[in-house]
Structure 1
Amino acid sequence: MVMSDTEKFFEQIISHLPISILVFDSSLKVVFVNENFLEKTRLKLDAVMGRGPEAIFPPVLLKYSRLPGLLKKVVQEGKGIPGQEMVYRAPGIPYRVYYYSLNPLKGIKGMDNVMLLMEDITEQTRLREEVRKTERHLASVVESANDIVVSLDSYGTITTWNTAGEKITGFSALEVIGRHITTLCTPRDAEEMRQVLQSAAQPGKVEHLEVEITTKGGTKIAVAWGFSSMRSEAGTLVGLVGIGRDLTETKQLQAQLIHSAKLASLGVLAGGIAHELRNPLGISSAAAQIFMERPDDPQLLKECAQKIHTGINRASEIIEGLLKFARPSTRYNEPTDINKILEETLTLIGKQLSTQQITVHTDLSPSLPLINADGKLLKQVFLNIIVNAYNAMPRGGLLWIKTEVEKGGRPWFLVVTFRDNGAGIPKEHIDKIFDPFFTTMPLGKGTGLGLAICYGIVKEHGGEIRVASNEGEGSTFTVLLPITK
């Protein structure tokens, strides 16, 4: 039969479609095959036309796909079979994966035909398997992590929760999935976390914060969080991912280091404190001696008793101040008067400074606002800086201490400046002085922890600590603490 131009035109289209097409007649012999199938299988036209599936496809594929039986079923029932996968492997040909379907066709003069459509999905299958491997690998990494790894929807609701999250908080995935992540925080931290999540949802933003969360057992633990957004290929926000690190051990170690630094500072304070105690005790002792020698003078007895009482109270105040400084303390922020903290610090070390002929000039702003801070920790910061100045001026010198408010940006900062005219810091040491265990003191004279602890405490308060120095001219330490409205 001679084909018309239209038939030839459509045959060319079908022959060049990017899928393989075979048409079988009712006896399951091939009556049409397109170029794509011949290219993929490397078969000649005469090796396919008029042949059955057993002569075209490898036996393993026929057994696996049950293709002959399916072809017969379509011929008999006249119903198509939806897509399925088959793997085609022939000698000398790399294996291919096909997605195929069988569809009934009405042939010439009512003869039944079956069209086999085969789409090569080898590359898609390979990519899909690569994605699965990557997903399994990432899931394994997340589950083996020591930190909490959590994913959130765009509203902050928890959608996944890893094993570390269960171990650290005591909450299983079933107990937290569907809850808003702020429900794990203490009430005072929940609003701050909401603001951080809102900021982290912006493209390219990574936000960090430290909050207290309440475990299933009711214990409060500090967790350092980092949040960033997850986006689709189109750049649309699909959620957020958060990583939370349990700071329990870090906080305990930090507290131990701070306490060790306090005890180290006591060595510097000891001489001054001994002198401070000697004065009130000496006055009390002298008054008691007079009391015993002249017991018949009521007015003198009253004066002696008053001096003894005053001396004992002064000694008690000195000892109490020393104990408050030396004993371990937990972090507790409250409205704090920085000028008062500085005055208490100078009371502790003032005598030692004067003994070494160091004169202190203070310029404390009377209009300083209170800031939300831990006064005990800031006292440790100020003492460490003053002790550094003390060590830098072994033959005496001047120490200026100033407080003021810096209003140049947001937030405003409360600024505390310590300036001395001591030995100064060599240029090569400036970048190292806040490193743990770095010290220029002789062996056994310093731990190298003082300024490192200062740096950590100030950073925990959201502030900064800066240093400027010229060797032989002195140093200036500046502590900036944020003022929260």
Structure 2
Amino acid sequence: MKSSVWKALTPEKKQRLYLFLILLIVVVGVSAILIYQAYNEHLHDHQREMVHIVKSRARIIEAVAKFDKQYSSNFPGGTREATLSQIRDAHKNFEGFGETGEFSLGELKGESIHFLLRHRHEYGTTSILPPENIAMDSLIATPMQKALKGESGLIIGIDYRGKEVLAAFEPVKELNLGLVAKIDLEEIKGPFIEHGLVALTCGLTIIILGTVAFFKFSDPLITAIRKSEDRYKAMFLKAPLGIAEIDSTTGHIYDVNEQFATIAGRSREDMSRIDWMSITHPDDVQEDLDNVSKLNAGEISGFQMHKRYIRPSGFPVWINMTIAPMRVDELGNPRHLCMIEDISDKKEKELLEGRLDRIMETSIYEIYIFDGNNLNFLKVNSSGVKNLGYSLTELTDMTPLDIKREYNKESFKELLDPIRNGGQDYVYFKTYHQRKDGSAYPVEIRLQYFESENPPVFMATVLDISERKKTEEHINKLSRAIEQSPAVVVITDREGNIEYVNPKFTDSTGYALEEVIGQNPRILKSGETPEAKYKQLWDTILAGNEWKGVFHNKKKDGTLYWENASIAPLKNDDEEITHFIAVKEDITERKKMETTLLDHETFIDSIVDNMHDGLISINRFNKVQLFNARAEKIFGWTSDEIMGKDLTILTPDDYREKHKVGFQNLVETGRSKILDATIEIEGLRKNGESFPLELSVSEMTQGEETWYVAVVRDILERKENEEKLRIAQKQLLASQKLASVGELSAGVSHEVLNPVNIISVQTQMLKRKIKDDERIQLFCDKVGNEIKRIQKIMGGLLEFSREGKTKLEMGTLREHIEKVIDLVEQEFNLDNIIFERKWCDRLVDVKYDPDKMRQVFLNLINNAKQAMPTGGTITISCRPIKVRGRQYHQFSFKDTGIGMNENVATKIFDPFFTTKSEQMGTGMGLSIVHGIIEEHGGEIEIETQEEKGTTLSINLPVAS
């Protein structure tokens, strides 16, 4: 019966019944949960209240106990009894709280709990009576046990009546008592059980009544919904737009209508097994994903985009897609409504129009589209806008007549009529366009008419031919230049056949244009040019390179002439050689001049190379440009070796810096003491030998270049001859001087020394006779000293005048100088004078007389000592030198004494001249030194400065 009734129910009614049962279960469950939660909350409130009550009572009892300890010591039984008495009295008036709540106060006596207050439920029941004492481990006194142990808290347990109670316990530490407050759980639960039953009854009643009402009133609504669903399905399936329900998160397609499947090129069943990303064109997936991401993030509520689906055939279809939120399914996935429209045709047209627009915009031509009726411009591409200088907005208010000022309405109409009437497909003409700034430029125009457009339009394709015009003008200029060129111009084909010659060719060769066209340039060959040169020419130009050279050719009349030619290939756009062009110049007269000039140069070179003096030319950078044969002999360098090198290579090291400074000053100022003058300087040969030379410098200017020409003459031989002459003259003068002094000294010495000797003898006798007279003794000593001085002067005079024989040896003189120093060094050290030796790295041999040279060294050292009365340093040094082209070895004796002035320095070698006192010198020492050095063919030099010291240097010739 029940089964047949259930089967008779329609699916909708079964669904309603299921819904009622589910609703009933939910209501009962929710009610139970709410009641349970309310009960727990109420229980927690009671627990907090119980704890508060027991704690507050315990603290009150402790406060009373403390008070009694202080003020009730006379109470019978003591202060404790006073407190307990007050508690019992208070308990009589308040037995408990609620219907079952009560307090218990107990103390521990031995192993038992003694209750001090009467239990609330003690009377009126006979089944259970609370004992005054109970065992400490009894199960019905757990709260009191914990309180007496000093614990506080809350517990649910069984009391002395066997009832389940909620008990709070707290110790009363002041009296060592335990306090318990408890209430029956039934009293707490009772209200909730009663209210729950009432609520459940009301809820069930409402559900039943509501269900009945729902069943009664839902049938029409369900019928309406079913009809609405049917209409929705019909609209969904038959809609002209493609519609689909999709999961925007996973891309899954739940359902699509027929139009969606048709657009995608698949069946509805196939669509349910794929996702939208798998059919989307790869180039559109990322944009789609970005939009879906924004949609799911709540940034947008929906979106629209153009994209492509890929059909199974691989053919793309353009769609206009709109996505809108629909609902969230039972799993929480957002579902969206996807609507698509096939816009392939529209898109194709847009793409075509876009391509046409791009072609039009990127075209090198200016393109103008203007109305066929009123002639207003409708569209102008960027090339036209840019070239005219007008904005597109300005042009839309203009007509072609505004930029073609040479046309008026009538003439322009005549131009348009042939294509407007169908007589011609297009019109081609040339004119000028006028820019916004007033300038004009030449153009070529192809004009077409499109009558099918609405409105009909003209399209003008315009080419700016400004550059072409310039090129044409340039070509015309080049043509005129070639025609009027003073040079011969010949153009041949690749095989060398003449295609063009300019008028100068006829003037130069005598051949007319018509005579040479088609001929080969070999008609000009004279046989004077080697065949190898022609082969080199063809190899060069066929390789694509330019050839330059000189021909000795023959004119039409047989006259030979020289021409300088430059021949180059001409190439087409593919870099292929198509022609050759030759540019030639008749250089016959130049050749004659070059021959004459060459002969002249040869003559000049012969003169230069045969000059007795050296000739050197340098540029403004001090580089050698000319070096004749005589200069090669003087310096030892060949012209090839020295050419281009710095002139300082011919200058000794000691003079190079001075030469550089002087030459730089000459270049910068144009002034120098050597310019246009003859001077003597030191030169340097290639072998390192320096020598005296005579130099004369002059300046030459050629164009912007300045040259300096030096004429040099080796005067070493002349200098040596001059030196020999000087020495001979000096020796002659010395001989004459010695002769006169010798004659004087010979006569004077006899006349002077004889009386002096007599005076000396008599003075000695007088001194011996009168020994006791000290004054006479001093007088005799003074006379004796003066006699010795006279004898010393006469001895020096005789030595100066005596012609002794010089015995020459060969050596370095160092040993003899050291012996002289050893002789006096100890004595000199006592006077604070020290010797410093600075010997050169290489001592060379000289010829000398040992005795006379020791006399020279001793004189020079003694003079140095006398110039340093307070002590000082005598420095002895040596070095090789060259004087007037001759090699010497120089020995210098330098002191740090008082020095002398210029007047004294010029007289120190004169006989009898001295700056010392009469007792210290005779004035003959340096005169004797001077004579000895001259006997050796040497020289003596002096360098002195007051308060700085003196240097005496002797120069002895190097032994050859």
Q: TM-score, normalised by structure 1?
A: 0.49
* Highest RCO, 1 vs 2 (Cα 8 Å, sep ≥ 6): 1
Q: TM-score, normalised by structure 2?
A: 0.28
Which has more radius of gyration?
Answer: 2
